[in-house]
Amino acid sequence: MWRPPEKVRHAPDPGAWPTVEAAAGSRLFSPLAFGALRLDQRTWVPAMVPWRASDEGFVTDTVVEWYERFAAGGPAAVVVEATGVRDVASGPLLRIGDDRFLAGLERLTAAVRRASGGRTRLFIQLIDFLTIRRRVDRETFLTRFLKITDRHREALQADADDEAVRALILGLDDGGLARILDPRELESLRMGYRERVTDTELAHIADLPARLPPLFAAAARRAKAAGFDGVELHYAHAYTLASFLSAGNTRADGYGGDLQGRLRLPLEVYAAVREAVGRDHVVGCRFLADECIVDGTALPEACRIGEAFARAGFDFLSLSRGGKFEDAQPPKVGAAAYPYTGPSGYECMPSFLSDERGPFGRNVTAAEAVRTAVRVAGFETPIVVAGGFHGFAQAEAALEAGVADVVGMARQALADPDWWRKVRAGRGDAVRVCGFTNYCEALDQKHAPVTCQLWDRSPRKAGRRTPDGKRWMTAPPWEPDVP
Ligand SMILES: Cc1cc2nc3c(=O)[nH]c(=O)nc-3n(C[C@H](O)[C@H](O)[C@H](O)COP(=O)(O)O)c2cc1C
Ligand code: SF4
């Protein structure tokens, strides 16, 4: 995991907690209505993959317990983790690409409704992603995966058959390999093979504009049937639709190049989803206010993306920053690259070891700029900000300053899913404050059940343990709830 070289330590500082009356009169706990989006407060749990789905992508008891636990704490909205729209094996990542997933998803929505007394709106994040393979060792890559071409022959000045050329390449040192392999081959050697939206010589990549709108539309229809209040289209971080939006998308088929071309597929996906679920169902998206990579989409273009999405009719725009493969660290042999290990990954989930700016409210400047652009263009579309929020005054100040309309807390919600209940009850002093250590994030990287480091320090009599028996699967109950 990359950290800013300054390595300044920042302690969380939630500031003063409000009284019951001050909380009741606050912006944070005031309602918001826009289009089909109706929230009883401006609070939000952004999507977090907890690695609790079955290997076939079904909802399990532990998935249900995870979301029930958030709902019991009383946030206005919870976004269910990134959920795959295709019917293809993708390990323990939740899936919605076929009707057989409906029963589990219905169980999940019913549990959240029960636990929140019907108050918490439940959205599901719909994701598509391209193939990424684990890094293999040098010899395996050069003998099994490297396709010998005339370019290698020319570079080696060897007029020989494939196996003879391969033998020459196998004998090269690292410097030699760097001269003979092209940048893409070198990347596959150092990082593992990864598909890109620009690989249009592959039929299934060329076809994405035809294939994705119906896949997302069918997934959204299923989400509606399963009882979700809406969907969040995942246009952020390192995944397919974010890659279409990216400045690095040079597709020449009308779905890349200038911003209009790069927006085309995300807008066509939106149109298909809207058509499938109608105007009375919430359709929002998450996108990047800045890719935070060299030559990536930066804030000025993100403002124009926000305007285009607002004009199209999205019910909310949730912002994130970074989280890209382009600057990720090379994985160990046997592991796959992970888009949160480089500087852009740091921007996505900033930790307490930071630069002078620190991890708290790190996205507010970008969110404010996108919101202003959307408002100046004449749209009232709500903007959701997240990134280092943990205190009431901090969230309230962001709303007051017009940074956003809704404040998301991901890791703080994980550390203490009772945050909203405690703060509204005038018991902010009882909040278990997130230390922004990214212990949870390291588990996510290993695809291990995500838990919080702070849970084990709380007194606790019962609960479900992780399969290794060492950690708790859900946050401990709030002491007043313990009989
Ligand atoms: C364990 C974990 C899993 C995450 N999974 C997702 C995800 O599925 N989709 C997504 O858009 N963001 C995901 N994120 C990013 C969060 O939604 C959020 O943007 C980020 O953690 C910054 O907000 P915070 O400072 O409130 O935690 C994840 C974060 C964590 C810690
Ligand atoms: S492990 Fe807990 S305290 Fe550390 S960042 Fe994650 S939620 Fe916060």
Going along the chain from its start, the domains and CATH numbers come out as: 8-132+221-231+281-456 (3.20.20.70), 138-191 (no CATH)
Q: Could you please report the per-residue DSSP string of 378-422?
A: T----EEE-SS---HHHHHHHHHTTS-SEEE-SHHHHH-TTHHHH
Helix (H) or strand (E) holding 317: strand 316-320
Tell me how many degrees the CA angle 306-311-317 measures, rounded to the nearest 5.
40
Of all residues in the chain, the percent with pLDDT exceeding 90 is 95
Q: Could you please report the per-residue DSSP string of 73-121?
A: T--SEEEEEEEE-SSS--SSS-B-SSGGGHHHHHHHHHHHHHHTTT-SE
Q: Ligand 1 pocket: which residues have CB below 6 Å? A: 46-49, 81-82, 125, 236, 286, 320, 349, 386-389, 409-412, 440-441, 444, 450
Cα–Cα distance for residue pair 356/359, rounded to 1 Å: 9
Cα-to-chain-centroid distance, residue 235? 9
Q: For helices 299-312 and 259-277, give the axis angle rounded to 10 degrees.
A: 30
Tokens matching residue 369 = 């700029």
- State pLDDT tens for residues 350-387: 999 999 999 999 999 999 999 999 999 999 999 999 99
Mean pLDDT of 398-407: 98
Tokens matching residue 14 = 């939630």
Whether the per-residue pLDDT at 149 is higher than 70: the answer is yes
Mean pLDDT of 180-192: 96
Q: Tell me how far the alpha carbon of residue 48 lies from the centroid of ligand 1, in angstroms.
A: 5
- State pLDDT tens for residues 86-137: 999 988 999 999 999 999 999 999 999 999 999 999 999 999 999 999 999 9
Residue-level pLDDT at 460: 81
pLDDT band with cut points at 50, 70 and 90 for residue 480: confident
Helix (H) or strand (E) holding 234: strand 230-235
Mean pLDDT of 50-72: 97
Cβ of residue 438 lying under 6 Å from some atom of ligand 2:
yes
CA distances (Å), origin 405, targets 46, 427, 479: 14, 24, 32
Q: Which of 43, 49, 237, 364 to mutate to test the pocket of ligand 1 (most atoms within 8 A of CB)?
A: 49
Cα–Cα distance for residue pair 83/51, rounded to 1 Å: 11
Residue-level pLDDT at 457: 77
Residue-level pLDDT at 459: 74
- Closest atom of ligand 2 relative to the 451 alpha carbon: 1
Residue-level pLDDT at 282: 98
Tokens matching residue 103 = 């029963």
What are residue 233's DSSP bridge partners? 126, 285
Quick check: 70 and 46 in contact, CB under 8 A? no
Helix (H) or strand (E) holding 275: helix 259-277
> Which residues, at least 6 apart from 185, have a Cβ–Cβ distance to it below 8 Å?
146
Cα–Cα distance for residue pair 286/237, rounded to 1 Å: 9
Q: Tell me how far the alpha carbon of residue 411 lies from the centroid of ligand 2, in angstroms.
A: 6
How much is the mean pLDDT over the chain?
96
Cα–Cα distance for residue pair 76/25, rounded to 1 Å: 16
pLDDT band with cut points at 50, 70 and 90 for residue 151: very high
Q: Within a 10 A sphere around the Cβ of 477, how many other Cβ atoms?
A: 17
Tell the residue nearest (CA) to atom 1 of ligand 2. 452
Cα–Cα distance for residue pair 324/445, rounded to 1 Å: 14
Torsion of CA 245, 249, 251, 252, to 10 degrees: 90
Cα–Cα distance for residue pair 273/220, rounded to 1 Å: 6
Quick check: 372 and 405 in contact, CB under 8 A? no
Q: For helices 208-225 and 259-277, give the axis angle rounded to 10 degrees.
A: 30
Residue in this structure with the two tokens 């996510």, named with its chain if needed:
444
Mean pLDDT of 7-18: 96
Whether the per-residue pLDDT at 479 is higher than 80: the answer is no
Whether the per-residue pLDDT at 227 is higher than 80: the answer is yes
CA distances (Å), origin 144, targets 151, 203, 253: 18, 23, 32
Candidates 481, 444, 386; CA nearest to 115 is 481
Indicate which ligand has the atom closest to the C-alpha of 454.
2
Residue in this structure with the two tokens 């909203």, named with its chain if needed:
420
- Closest atom of ligand 1 relative to the 411 alpha carbon: 27
Residue-level pLDDT at 461: 78
- Closest atom of ligand 2 relative to the 455 alpha carbon: 2
Q: Which of 349, 433, 437, 446 to mutate to test the pocket of ligand 2 (most atoms within 8 A of CB)?
A: 437
Residue-level pLDDT at 483: 61
Three-state SS at 33: strand
Q: Which of 454, 455, 458, 474 to mutate to test the pocket of ligand 2 (most atoms within 8 A of CB)?
A: 454
Residue-level pLDDT at 174: 92
Whether the per-residue pLDDT at 482 is higher than 70: the answer is no
Tokens matching residue 413 = 């919600």
Report residue 438: phi and psi, to 5°.
Answer: 65, 25
> Which residues, at least 6 apart from 381, have a Cβ–Cβ distance to it below 8 Å?
34, 306, 309, 310, 314, 315, 316, 317, 374
Of all residues in the chain, the percent with pLDDT exceeding 70 is 99
Candidates 289, 302, 304, 243; CA nearest to 387 is 289
Cβ of residue 440 lying under 6 Å from some atom of ligand 2:
yes
Cβ of residue 60 lying under 6 Å from some atom of ligand 2:
no
Q: Within a 10 A sphere around the Cβ of 52, how many other Cβ atoms?
A: 20
Residue type, 453: Q
Whether the per-residue pLDDT at 212 is higher than 80: the answer is yes
Residue-level pLDDT at 79: 98
Tell me how many degrees the CA angle 323-245-52 measures, rounded to the nearest 5.
45
Residue in this structure with the two tokens 């929020």, named with its chain if needed:
389
